[in-house]
Chains A and B, each alone.
Chain A
Amino acid sequence: MPTLFYIFAGLTIIAALGVVLQRTPVYSALLLIVVLCSLAVEYLLLGAEFIAVIQVIVYAGAIMVLFVLVIMLLNAGHEIPSSRSRVARWLGIPLLAAFLAEMFIVLLRYLPEESGGWFAPKPAGPVPIGHLLFQSYVLPFEVTSVLVLVAVLGAVVLAKKEL
C-alpha cells in the first residue's frame, strides 16, 4: 500500500508540473485530469472512498469537461510570454521559495509525533458521511444549495449576449 501511495504521489507531482509548464491550455487541462484521478487514488488509500468517487465524478468528470469545452469554444492556443511575466518571475520565485521553505520547516519541526495505524481498514463510504451530513451539517448543506443556485444564475447572466 505505501508503495502504491508513493507511485501515485510521483505521478501527481509530474502531472502537476506538466499542468504548470505546458504552454497549450488543452494539454494543461488533460494533465490536470491525470492529477485529479491520481489524487482520487490517494483518497482511496487514505480511506476516503466517498470523496474519491466524488472526485472522479464531479471534478474529473463535470468540472474538467466544462474547462475543456471552454478551451475549445474560445480556441485557446499557444500562450505568448510577455514582458510583464518577467516581472512576475523576479518577484514570484523568491516569494514561492520562501513559502516552500517556511512550510517545510513547519512540517519538520511542529508536526506532532506520528501515531501508528495508518492505512488500517476503516472505510468511510457514503453511509457514515450521509449520516454526518444530514445530522450535524444540515445547515451548511442547505446553504450550499443556495450557493449552487446563485452560481447557476450568475453563469446564465454572465454568458448572455449583452453584458
Chain B
Amino acid sequence: MVPLSHVLALSLILFVLGAAGFIFRRNIITIFMCIELMLNAVNLAFVAFARQHGQLDGQLYVFFVIVVAAAEATVGLAIIIALYRNKESLSVDDLDSMKN
C-alpha cells in the first residue's frame, strides 16, 4: 500500500531536480531536457491524484500534457537548430544579444 504522499514526494523530487538542472546547466539542449523532466513530475502528480479520487480526468490531462510536450519539443528543437546556425554555439551564455 503506497500512500499518496509518497507518490507526490517522488513527483516533487523529480520537479526540483528538473528545476535545478534548468538553473545550473549551461547547455541549451540539457536545459530543454530538464523542462521535460519537470513536465513528467507534474504528470506523475496528475496520475496519483486521478488514482486517489478514482476519476479518469487526471489521466486525460496527462494525455494533453504529453501532446503539448510533443509540440513544444518540436518547436523548441527547431529553435535550437536555428540558434546554432546563427551562433555556432549551444551555450546559453552566448545567447545574450538582447542584453546589449
Contacts and interface: CB of A to CB of B under 8 A. Distances in A.
What does DSSP make chain B's interface, helix, strand, loop or mixed?
helix
B63 A54 contact: yes
Residue picked from B75, B82, B93, most chain A C-beta under 10 Å? B75
Given A63-B69, A151-B71, A116 B5 contact: no
A66 B74 contact: yes
B74 to A, nearest CB: 5
Interface of B: 1-10, 12-14, 16-21, 23-27, 29-30, 32-34, 36-37, 40, 43-44, 47-48, 50-52, 54, 56-57, 59-60, 62-64, 66-75, 77-82, 84-86, 90-91, 93
A67 B77 contact: yes
Contact of A76 (B21, B27, B66): B27
Interface of A: 1-2, 5-6, 9, 12-13, 16-17, 19-20, 22, 25, 28-29, 32, 35-36, 39, 42-43, 45-48, 50-51, 54-55, 58-59, 62-63, 66-67, 70-71, 73-74, 76, 79-82, 84-85, 88-89, 91-92, 96, 99-100, 103-104, 107-108, 111, 114-116, 118-119, 122, 124, 128-129, 132-133, 136-137, 140, 144, 147-148, 150-152, 154-156, 158-159, 163
Contacts, number: 223
Given A111-B5, A159-B82, A48 B57 contact: no
Given A118-B1, A124-B59, 18 more contacts: A20-B18, A25-B27, A63-B70, A66-B77, A70-B80, A74-B90, A79-B30, A99-B16, A100-B12, A111-B5, A114-B5, A118-B51, A132-B57, A132-B60, A148-B71, A151-B72, A155-B74, A159-B82
